[in-house]
Amino acid sequence: MKKVPFRRARPLRFLAVAALILTAAAMPAGAQKKNKKNAPPSDSAADAKSMLPMPDSQAVDQAIGEALGYWQIGDTGSLHKYYADDVVLVSVAWEQPIIGWDNFLKAYQAQREHVTGARMDRSNTLIKVNGNSAWATYQFVYAAQSQGQVIQYRGHTTLILAKQNDKWLITLNHSSIVDSTTPQPSTFAGSDPPAKP
């Protein structure tokens, strides 16, 4: 019979300890609120970023992701923040490398005139950082509509980046296609599937 009350008391002890911990944690938070009345307001997210520097490999990964996001939506002003002015681009086409941001911008805008709904997804990203330089390689799937046809490419991209003023900039972008699908008529939600012969 002595074991029964002890078993019932165990959950009560746990609740009592938990209540003490929560009370102790709440006291400093209340004291902080009193001190903050006289302090100017601050953005806690910005404070956290400045206090904890991001590892370079994570910063490179974030720069690549943001650059691809701006590339997809066509925001060339924001996209330029991730590319060096003397960037070299080796495209998937059999052509000379594109040298410099201005030439890259012209090629990018010309390509966007011929496609809609362009989307690029990356996977299997590998990043190597060495001081103020880094390289990254990843696989991509590119899909878009061109002249009423759906096009899709799968391939690889390798980037070389340089850290300039605590920002990672792409200095070389080399892509290659592994395979592609033949253009097919685009289908939109609600349309009937094509009839089978």
Q: What is the pLDDT of residues 116-132, one digit of tens each?
A: 999 999 999 999 999 99
pLDDT band with cut points at 50, 70 and 90 for residue 180 = confident
Q: What value does the mean pLDDT of the chain take? A: 78
**pTM listed for this prediction:** 0.66
pLDDT at 120: 93
Contact criterion met (CB below 8 Å) for 152 and 143: yes
Mean pLDDT of 1-30: 39
pLDDT band with cut points at 50, 70 and 90 for residue 187 = low
Q: What is the pLDDT of residues 101-114, one digit of tens each?
A: 999 999 999 989 99
Q: Which of 126, 163, 121, 128 is nearest to 142 (CA)?
A: 121
Distances in Å between the Cα of 140 and the Cα atoms of 46, 103, 165 are 32, 23, 29
In the three-class reduction of DSSP (H, G, I as helix; E, B as strand; rest coil), residue 7 is classed as: helix
pLDDT at 92: 85
pLDDT band with cut points at 50, 70 and 90 for residue 33 = very low
- Please spell the DSSP secondary structure of 130-189, one letter per residue: ETTEEEEEEEEEEEEEETTEEEEEEEEEEEEEEEETTEEEEEEEEEEEEEEEEEEE---T
Strand 98-99 with 116-130, pairing = unpaired
